[in-house]
Structure 1
Amino acid sequence: MIPFSPGRRLLRAKRAARGDLPRVLGRFGDFEIRIARGKEIRKAQRLRYKVFYEEGGATASGHSALVRRDICPFDKFCDHLLIVDLAARNAFGRVKPKIVGTYRLLRGEVAADHGGFYSESEFDIAPLLARHAGKRFLELGRSCVHAKYRSKRVIELLWRGLWTYAQHYHIDVLFGCASLPGTNPLALALPLSFLHHHASAEAEWQVRPRQGRGVAMDALDKGSIDKRKGLAALPPLIKAYLRVGAKFGEGAVIDPQFGTIDVFTVMPIAEIEQRYIAYYGGDASESAAA
């Protein structure tokens, strides 16, 4: 759980004085980056269902399977970042904007008012939060992109939207659970060992799994790992995290519902490489072709 901060109300007041975050965060060619409103959250849940359950093999609960949406209690108080293809066409050839990418965002002060972060169900993050009590945390989760849009361009748009959001709320630390497909640690020994030996977080940012849930990430010795093959074995999202300087916790957690092994990812804004800050922090209204 997030420790109560006596300065939290003052922090909220300061943020309210800056004005609300605009719904539309940027446009790039035919794509728009925006924050979900109303029924758009359901559409984001449908995209997540398609990616996580129909493609990824996650096990849906009765209600989620019935409505074909990835429903999670955290959705009600999180912000949902969307990538929308404004030029998409329906089966009749008519233009009908389509949500093609999404990211779920949970700020520390919001989590504090609703029982904590999603990551706390798998990892003991209380020591991390206590060590950095004055910093503003943003949890990233439920990231996915429609199969037909999984390009570098769309992933970069998600990052641009994320960066605009983080700047608005003066976020200090990005973190969350990142997933590798599969539940057999031995089958994932190469990517897990690569992260353990080459991208482990420093002590002040270190996080471990909750008691009884952890699996080791060091099945392979450092000297036996081919770094190129280790990197290639990682999912695209984790590769993207690594490129901006992300580090990873000690130990992973098996998520049987989603059929994945999760690792804890932390990205202090101050440690993200400046070239990425300059790139993603540019004008969010510039053309995607620029």
Structure 2
Amino acid sequence: MSAEVLERASLNTATGVIAPLIAPREVELLGRIGSLETRLAQNSREIEAAQAIRYRVFVEEMGSQVGPDLVQQRREIDSWDAYCDHLLVLDRALEGDIEDQIVGTYRILRHEVAAAHGGFYSGSEFEVERLVARHPAKRFMELGRSCVLPPYRSKRTVELLWQGCWAYALRHQIDVMFGCASFPGIQPEVHALALSFLHNSVRAKGEWEVAARPELYREMDLMPSEAINAKQALMAMPPLIKGYLRLGAMIGSGAVIDQAFNTTDVLIVLPISSISGRYVSYYGADAGRFAS
């Protein structure tokens, strides 16, 4: 495991308070493949660099809407950033400072941190609080703001992001991962095949049932079940959603239109106990597969 000396101020992502480091400290890598590494952001500059990556992907590429101040800063920011942890993928082969080497990011919000700051981000679209209340003994972890720069949208980058999430979940004894995932555009009918497949084949039921908020609910069951071709539906899925399904994820009921982000959102629910055994074996029951 490599180490890195940090000389700048660090950002406590649970409180948003910037505090100087008293002494250099080792940065824990969560995974490495070739020149790519994954770990948590260590300071405010790294978080700002991750927000700049989000701006390039969400705003410039996908057409999300942000205020003029954020356009000027060229960063995509919201109020949750201050107390989330920010998972990074870095290409250490790139020249420049650490901030110049960040090529992908994922935002992570733990159960107890969300409870202390008004809830989970996805609770604004889905009835997450009911799901969480139904499982008082389980610890939840929300994943969001996943994005990777176009040249790095490869299998190994995705593997590193998952390695980081898996290591983080084990470290914090997480029982359930969940979060919003998106289809491009704000017309669910364009994704009728994929949404109908999700509704009919992998919808969360029983103790895991969770629905879009009533005022935002958009129907996902857009095709007769006999007309759904599973293979074609999977081919039509965004890669992130397809990856969640391979792991054993379920999908909440109803989609939500996010006008600002120009997306159609669904809710992913992935209990750790439901993750396919071959993926646990691949990444390592101790998250050691790519950690050294």
TM-score (norm 2): 0.87
* Partner residue in 1 for 2:30: 25
* Partner residue in 2 for 1:82: 88
Query: Runs of 4+ in structure 1 displaced over 6 angstroms?
Result: none
Given that 2:194 and 2:236 are in contact with CA atoms closer than 8 Å, whether structure 1 keeps it comes out as yes
* Partner residue in 2 for 1:270: 273
Q: What per-residue deviation string (whole Å, max 9, x for no partner) do you get for residues 28-61 of structure 1?
A: 2211111002210000000000001111111122
Given that 1:86 and 1:96 are in contact with CA atoms closer than 8 Å, whether structure 2 keeps it comes out as no
Q: Which runs of 5+ in 1 are unaligned?
A: 1-20
Q: Residues of 2 paired with 1:238 and 1:22: CA distance?
A: 30
Q: Residues of 2 paired with 1:261 and 1:146: CA distance?
A: 21
* CA displacement at 1:97 relative to structure 2: 5.3
Q: Residues of 1 paired with 2:120 and 2:220: CA distance?
A: 23
* Partner residue in 1 for 2:54: 48
* CA displacement at 1:283 relative to structure 2: 1.7
1:228 aligns with 2:231: yes
Q: What per-residue deviation string (whole Å, max 9, x for no partner) do you get for residues 66-95 of structure 1?
A: 1110011100000000000000136xxx99
Any idea what SS the aligned residue of 1:75 has?
A: helix
Q: Which has the higher contact order (CA 8 A, sep 6+)?
A: 1
Q: What per-residue deviation string (whole Å, max 9, x for no partner) do you get for residues 143-200 of structure 1?
A: 0111000001100000001100000000000000110001011111111111101111
Q: Name the aligned partner's letter for residue 215 of structure 2.
A: G
Q: Name the aligned partner's letter for residue 45 of structure 1.
A: Q
Given that 2:283 and 2:290 are in contact with CA atoms closer than 8 Å, whether structure 1 keeps it comes out as no
* Partner residue in 1 for 2:14: none
* CA displacement at 1:280 relative to structure 2: 1.6
Q: Residues of 2 paired with 1:111 and 1:61: CA distance?
A: 25
Q: Residues of 2 paired with 1:251 and 1:66: CA distance?
A: 35
Given that 1:24 and 1:32 are in contact with CA atoms closer than 8 Å, whether structure 2 keeps it comes out as yes
1:57 aligns with 2:63: yes
Q: Name the aligned partner's letter for residue 281 of structure 2.
A: A
Given that 1:32 and 1:86 are in contact with CA atoms closer than 8 Å, whether structure 2 keeps it comes out as yes
* Partner residue in 2 for 1:122: 125
* Partner residue in 2 for 1:240: 243
1:68 aligns with 2:71: no
Q: Residues of 2 paired with 1:190 and 1:139: CA distance?
A: 27
Once the two structures are superposed, the pairs formed by residues 179-190 of structure 1 within 5 Å of their partners are 179-190=182-193
* CA displacement at 1:23 relative to structure 2: 3.7
* Partner residue in 1 for 2:5: none
Aligned residues: CA RMSD: 1.9
Q: Residues of 2 paired with 1:208 and 1:85: CA distance?
A: 38
Percent sequence identity over aligned pairs: 51
TM-score (norm 1): 0.87
Q: How many residues align?
A: 265
1:197 aligns with 2:203: no
Q: Name the aligned partner's letter for residue 185 of structure 1.
A: P
In structure 2, the CA distance between the partners of 1:96 and 1:269, relative to structure 1 (3 Å rule), is closer
Q: What per-residue deviation string (whole Å, max 9, x for no partner) do you get for residues 202-254 of structure 1?
A: 22111111121010000101110111111111100000000000000110100
* Partner residue in 1 for 2:180: 177
Given that 2:179 and 2:268 are in contact with CA atoms closer than 8 Å, whether structure 1 keeps it comes out as yes
